[in-house]
Structure 1
Amino acid sequence: MLQEHAKIVDFIAIAEGVTGRKKLQKMIYIMKKMDMPFQEKYEFHIYGPYSEELTARVEELCDMGFLSEALEDKGSYVQYKYAVTEEGMEFRKVLGKSILDTPMTAGKLNARSGRFLELTATLLYFDNLSCQEQIDKLHAVKGKLNFTAEEIDEAFAFIEELSS
């Protein structure tokens, strides 16, 4: 019943915590697109792929004491930092074994900025299109972010690296 919750706890534990709600959304989405068994449904929103289900599960995990949520005041905005609690580490054992075949992937994602992950997740959201159509769509929906050709190339290379 709580398998999906345990997968989120497992991922955050392997990533050694995640700073930022948007970043967590993008990390899980990218993992789902890399065929990791996350079941959350995503729709396209302001910051790219977004899952109400993931938001609800994270809130429930915090309420159950399996995740801690710390708020950092950044002046013009508040940033959330998620970490797995001791109870969460015990709960994680529900899975039997980790969902990640290569734990380094969580670290690779966590090392990237929210902006880069938003770019990468947006490209993956439109992965049914040709490469040029993906880029055109990216500029149409994310024009204000002014992604450079270098950033886009880096995102495609990152997707390729994660896929192999």
Structure 2
Amino acid sequence: MLKDHAKIIHAISVSGEVIGRKKLQKMIYIAKKMEFPFQERFQFHFYGPYSEELTLRVEELCNMGFLDEVKEKKGGYYQYRYTLTESGQEFLGENSVEMPCLGDCLIDINDQNARFLELVSTVLYFDNLPEAEVREKIQTVKKSQKYTDEEIDEAYAYIASLKTKSRQLLA
């Protein structure tokens, strides 16, 4: 049980800070699709792939004092910042996680904005379909986001670069 918690702590640790619950969900999902061993199950939800398990683990980690969650008012909504606490660092020191190169991948993903990560994770969620069908799905299930063909092209290029990077790093 705590092994999966340690992986989440490790992910936030190597990312430095994650701003936004949605972004954290997308980061873990994309890393999982890049074959990093995250166990959380994801289903398609309003903002793309979502894991209730991940939400519960993060909540537990905050309650245990391993993660710090800061709620900030941003305009008309709240945004959450996640960082590792000193207790979280100690826990990670006692429960080592073997995921070499995860940091390189997550730092890159964390540099992207949440809207783009929503698109990337949606493309990855439907990666068993031909590209034309994926594009059609995006225009249907993400209609309100109004993604352009250029943005979808960028998402595919970004996924290809992440796959190349993760293969090189994991080789």
Per-residue deviation, 1:41: 0.5
**Deviation (angstroms), 1:2:** 0.1
SS in 2 for 1:65: coil
CA RMSD of aligned residues (A): 1.1
The residue aligned with 2:9 is: 9
Identity among equivalent positions (%) equals 53
Q: How many residues align?
A: 164
Q: Report the secondary structure of 1:118's partner residue.
A: helix
Q: Tell me what 1:38 maps to.
A: 38
State the shift of 1:91 in Å: 1.1
Cα deviations by residue, 1:22-61 (Å, 9 ceiling, x for unpaired): 0000000001111110000101110010000000000000
Q: Which residue of 1 aligns with 2:90?
A: 90
8 A contact 1:36–1:100 mirrored in 2: no
Specify the alignment match of 1:106 in structure 2. Answer: 106
Alpha-carbon distance in structure 1 between the residues aligned to 2:65 and 2:96: 20
Aligned residue in 2 for 1:70: 70
- Report the 3-state secondary structure (helix = DSSP H, G, I; strand = E; otherwise coil) of the residue aligned with 2:76: coil
Instruction: List structure 1 runs of 4+ shifted beyond 4 angstroms.
Output: none
Aligned to 2:28: 28
Q: Alpha carbons of 1:129 and 1:107: their partners in 2 closer, same or farther (altered >3 Å)?
A: same
Q: Which amino acid aligns with 1:144?
A: S
- Gaps of at least 5 residues in structure 1 are none
Measured after TM superposition, the shift of residue 148 of structure 1 is 1.0
Render the CA deviation track for 1:45-93: whole Å, top value 9, x for unaligned.
1001000000000000000000000011012000000000011111113
Amino acid at match of 1:79: Q
- Within 5 Å, which residues of 2 pair with 1:40-59? 40-59=40-59
CA contact (8 A) 1:34 1:163 kept: yes
Contact 1:15/1:106 (CA < 8 Å) preserved in 2? Answer: yes
Q: Which residue of 2 aligns with 1:152?
A: 152
